[in-house]
Amino acid sequence: MLIFVVISCFVNFLAEGFLFPSSGNGCCSPCPPPPVCAPVNPCPPMQIQMCQPAPVAQTQTCCTPMVSSCGTGCKKEKMKRMKRGITNFRDKRQSELVEVGDAKCNSDDLKNVIIQNIDRVTSIAKKRIQLEAERILGGRYNVICARGDFSYITSTMVYCQHTVGDVTCYVFKQLSDSSQRRMV
């Protein structure tokens, strides 16, 4: 009889609990109720921070802070330095002074070659100047010609840059290998 009760309960379970759910009048107990969720804590109130404006930088128009009248202090200080021959607040030592002469040209012969052979067409000018410099002065010369400004770096002992109209040409003598070794 026990088997009958077990089979009967199993059939009721299948029929009522599994296939056709009911309120639990069969042999099996109904499912427990779902758990109750904890109450949600409210968010703290938002605090709005106000940004402070950036501090305004104060500019000082005077060159020395100890001068009471900025309009005249800078000029007086500059005039004092000029009278003493001081530049950049430091006296130049005699060993630092270099006699430069014309910084763009150290050869009158090269300058004359440029003046006599320069042309508005830079490709023609550079070829004429190179041929004439090598013919008259001997040695190997490099020539750069352009309209307007240009920038270059060379290692040489003889050079000249000269401008006629809007064409500028720079001529320099190539150093021999032995001269280059001596410079290093």
Q: What is the CATH number of the domain that holds 166?
A: 3.30.740.10
Does residue 172 lie within any of the structural domains?
Answer: yes
Does residue 178 lie within any of the structural domains?
Answer: yes
- By three-state DSSP, how is residue 118 classified? coil
Q: Which pTM value belongs to this model?
A: 0.44
Distance (Å, whole) CA 56 – CA 53 = 9
Domain count, the chain: 1
Residue 38: the pLDDT is 74
Range of the structural domain that residue 162 is part of = 108-183
* CA 13 centroid distance within chain: 81
**How many residues make up the chain in this entry?**
184
Q: By C-alpha distance, which of 152, 154, 147, 145 is closest to 183? A: 154
Does residue 114 lie within any of the structural domains?
Answer: yes
Q: Answer whether 115's CB lies under 8 Å from 162's CB.
A: yes
Does residue 25 lie within any of the structural domains?
Answer: no
| Start-end of H helices in the chain | 2-12, 70-84, 108-117, 122-137, 177-183
Average pLDDT over residues 136-155: 90
Does residue 147 lie within any of the structural domains?
Answer: yes
Does residue 59 lie within any of the structural domains?
Answer: no
Does residue 167 lie within any of the structural domains?
Answer: yes
Does residue 173 lie within any of the structural domains?
Answer: yes
* % of the chain surpassing 70 pLDDT: 48
pLDDT in tens, 83-138: 655 555 455 454 444 444 568 999 999 999 999 999 999 999 999 999 999 999 99
